[in-house]
Structure 1
Amino acid sequence: MELDMSFLGEVAEQSRRLRNLVEFYRTEEGTELLWKATHLFTHHTHSIIFAGMGSSEFAPVVVRDYLAYNLGVPVVLWEAGELLHYGMNCIRDDDLIIAISQSGESIETRKVVDILRDHLGVISITNDPESKIARYSRLDLQILAGAEASISSKTYTNSLGLLLILSRAVTALDAEPLYRSLLEIADGMESFRADRLDEIEDAAKFMHAADAVHFISRGPAMAAARQAALTFGTGARIFTCAVPGGSVRHGLMGSMGAGHYAIIFAPDGPGGDLLRKLAVDLAVLGSKVVLFTSEETVKDHNLCTIRITPGDPELFPLACAMPLELLFETLARDKGLVAGVFIRGEKVTTKE
């Protein structure tokens, strides 16, 4: 069967690929890889350093706080280009480095891992076991997303899934509840695409005049905001900025109101409650706000709400992924663009 390599074709494949990821890491082979990764984390680990570009840079946001709290070590996220040119001298022999590259060939991440070939604590997360980054590292964990030609969709969601699985392995937590949640999210992806496209059409009409959008969240759900900003900026010719919710009230409110657009991601918990309040406040000012939320909020003519479950902050970016991608595709199509096609640049960046 010939693969559908269009953006929507790859989006439609996400649920199957996420199930494949769960099924593999439940097997003896997958469990063995996780065991090996766990043994690269030691009681003497000084810090955990994540490095990547684009989606691979900010996917670890979903596990940063969890790992720092449960392992009791600093967890640092580097844009690989910044690490390459400004941070390599800070890496110690007792640091654990996790290099993420969906292609396994991203130029900056590859150079970082190449320099660290003799380091004993380098794990890579890639979609190609034969890639240079996979071969240069001590251990490669596969995201099993299949071929992807468009803007990141299934490689992004499977990266999130694998990072969550890895976080449970290294903290010796039973992974079965997580596996069940990931499978439920896969089911939710399919049901959203089958039954809720009218909500996406409504949100796209609501945002049709937007040429600049703030993407706002907090905590682990900032991964959703940053992925959305990258996706919409890359493929929909919209100026984007991802910003934590707390920062909005420190000066940015002055630029918001009539003519302003925002997409806010509000999961469960106190942080999500603050984001829901922010969404209402922006709507009252006159901003047009699309709110991805795990809970109901007040109704306002400037507020377009899309309910998302589960609301767990770590899982929320995964649950938001397909609705967000469908919204992006609709907005791009309305602009006469082919969604997922790189306007400038290419899928695998080989030039700094």
Structure 2
Amino acid sequence: MLQEIHQQPEAVRRTLEENAGRVRDLCAEVARRDVRLVTIAGRGTSDNAAVLGRYLFEIITGIPVSLSAGSVLTMYGAWPRVDSALAIGISQSGQAQEVVEAIQRSREMGALTLGITNDPDSELARAAEHVFLLHAGPERSVAATKTYTCTLAALYSLVAGLPAVHPLGEGLVEKLTAMPDQMGDMLEMAPEIARGMERYRYMDECVVVARGLNLATAFETALKMSETGYIVARGYSAADLMHGPIASVEPGSACFLVAPPGAVLPGLRETARALGERQAEQVTLSSDPELLALATTPLRVPFAVEEVVSPLVYIVAGQLIAHSLALLRHHDPDHPRGLQKVTRTR
């Protein structure tokens, strides 16, 4: 897992470069067919990538997004009308059956289809009209890391190729080009993160809080903590946390905040103050001095990251947090108990 975390900058660079032609072809088809809706199907880590995809499409392109519920198709046999949509299926293995079925049925209904996968010979690659390949190389660890960030890169490249209707989309291609280097900069925080996590080696549960674009980062960080450290970790939007779950926060409760600069930062400061009033343990990943001053364990990001691409950078720290906790708790992060690399569900 740690080796694959460190392989991410180059894997993301390859994914951006190698899919450039495929992105141009699909963007031309999206314009030709006047796509008015995007649907995205994924499970687990792929579903967390889909959450970011929703924010990117809706903010930058103005196209609404529906995240597919697998059981609608596979359990209930329903056929949502998606004939004017771009249907995206995400599966690093290309073998997630409900994702493959979603793409097959969407194509039968007349949707434009895209598969995002690390396996060019997979069922998903065969089912979709267009395919973006994740040039991540073999991923041996059960916990997905580099296939997640390569999936994000694929989604970013697609959105960057479509007309932007929001300032966050300005200069997105250039910002993406800089991301592998900034991911490498985040990797340099590994020793600091490992030291910070020593305080939480006996933690049994926690919440991971973010908002906006980095909600996916909170979800994925929590998933990695659960997978590799056997911690009951829950990801929350800062707004959703305030609508009830914060009542469960007690003195000493562990709360991880993912807080890069941007539009949602003022709200995260309010959340941090509310957690402070409840005497929570706050582990804060940020470059914001005010938030870091409120933290029990500040993890200061020593460089600036553009808000729009911050999920690609900040998740690297989330992965390092999960990996450090797993080792401190004497677990093997590469082989979580009871899990396999390819999970088969419908």
Instruction: Report if TM-score (shorter chain) is over 0.5.
Output: yes
AA paired with 2:125? A
Q: 1:342 to 1:242 in 2, by over 3 A?
A: same
In structure 2, the residue matched to 1:211 is 204
Offset of residue 223 of structure 1: 0.8
Determine helix, strand or coil for the equivalent of 1:234.
helix
**2:326 corresponds to which residue?**
332
Instruction: Provide the rounded CA distance (Å) in 2 between the counterparts of 1:209 and 1:283.
Output: 21
Q: Which of the numbers 298, 302, 305 marks the counterpart of 1:304?
A: 298
State the match for 1:4 in structure 2: none
For 1:203-352, list aligned pairs within 5 A: 203-298=196-291, 299-300=293-294, 302-307=296-301, 309-352=303-346
Q: Report the alpha carbon displacement of residue 135 of structure 1 after superposing the two structures with TM.
A: 0.6
Q: CA separation in 1, counterparts of 2:210 and 2:73?
A: 25
1:126 equivalent in structure 2: 117
Any idea what SS the aligned residue of 1:315 has? helix
- For 2:244 and 2:164, how far apart are their aligned partners in 1? 43
Question: Residues 27-61 of structure 1: CA distance to partner in whole angstroms, max 9, x if unpaired?
Answer: xxx32543234313556434211111111112133
- Cα distance in 2 between the residues matched to 1:286 and 1:42: 55
**Change in 2 beyond 3 A, CA 1:69/1:205:** closer
* Percent of residue pairs identical: 25
Distance 1:180 1:44, change over 3 A: closer
Q: CA deviation at 1:186?
A: 1.8
Kindly state the Cα deviation for residue 98 of structure 1 after the two structures are TM-superposed.
0.7
Q: 1:106 aligned to 2:96?
A: yes
Q: Which deviates further from its counterpart, 261-270 or 123-132? A: 261-270
1:265-317 CA distance string (max 9 Å, x none): 11223312211331233134211111122422252462423326544343122
Whether 2:140 is the aligned partner of 1:152: answer no
In 1: Cα distance, 2:194 partner to 2:230 partner? 19
Displacement, 1:22? 2.6
2:180 is the alignment partner of 1:189: no
Q: Structure 1 residues 71 and 322, CA, compared in 2 at 3 Å: closer, same or farther? A: closer
Question: What is the aligned length?
Answer: 341
Partners of 2:182 and 2:174 lie apart in 1 by 12
Contact 2:193 2:299 in 1 (8 A): no
> In the TM superposition, what is the alpha-carbon distance from 1:221 to its structure 2 partner?
0.7
In the alignment, structure 1 residue 11 sits paired with structure 2 residue 11 = no
Q: Secondary structure at the match of 1:113?
A: helix
Residue 162 (structure 2) pairs with residue 170 (structure 1)? yes
SS at match of 2:161: helix
C-alpha displacement at 1:157, in angstroms?
Answer: 0.5
Look up the SS of the partner of 1:148 in the other structure: coil
Q: Give 1:172 shift.
A: 6.7
Secondary structure of 2:252's aligned partner: coil
> Structure 1 pair 238/115, CA: closer, same or farther in 2 (3 Å)?
same
CA contact (8 A) 2:95 2:342 kept: yes
Q: Matched residues in 2 for 1:55 and 1:189: separation?
A: 19
1:34 matches 2:27:
no
For the residue of structure 2 that corresponds to 1:242, the secondary structure is strand
1:215 Cα deviation (Å)? 1.1
Distance in 1 (CA, whole Å) between partners of 2:341 and 2:229 is 16
Distance 1:205 1:177 in 2: 40
> Could you tell me how far apart the structure 2 residues matched to 1:273 and 1:336 are?
38
Instruction: Report the secondary structure of 1:97's partner residue.
Output: strand
Whole-Å separation in 1 of the counterparts to 2:170 and 2:82: 34
CA contact (8 A) 1:207 1:288 kept: no
TM-score for both structures, normalised by structure 1:
0.88
Q: Which residue of 2 aligns with 1:85?
A: 75
Q: Does 1:136 align with 2:127?
A: yes
TM-score between the two structures when normalised by the length of structure 2: 0.89
- Partners of 2:257 and 2:283 within 8 A in 1: yes
1:67 is displaced (CA, Å) by: 2.1
CA–CA distance in structure 1, aligned partners of residues 173 and 302 of structure 2:
19
Q: Cα–Cα, structure 1 residues 342 and 188, in superposed 2: closer, same or farther, change >3 Å?
A: same
Matched-pair contact (CA < 8 Å) for 2:82–2:106 = no
Q: Output the CA distance in 1 between the equivalents of 2:246 and 2:73.
A: 32
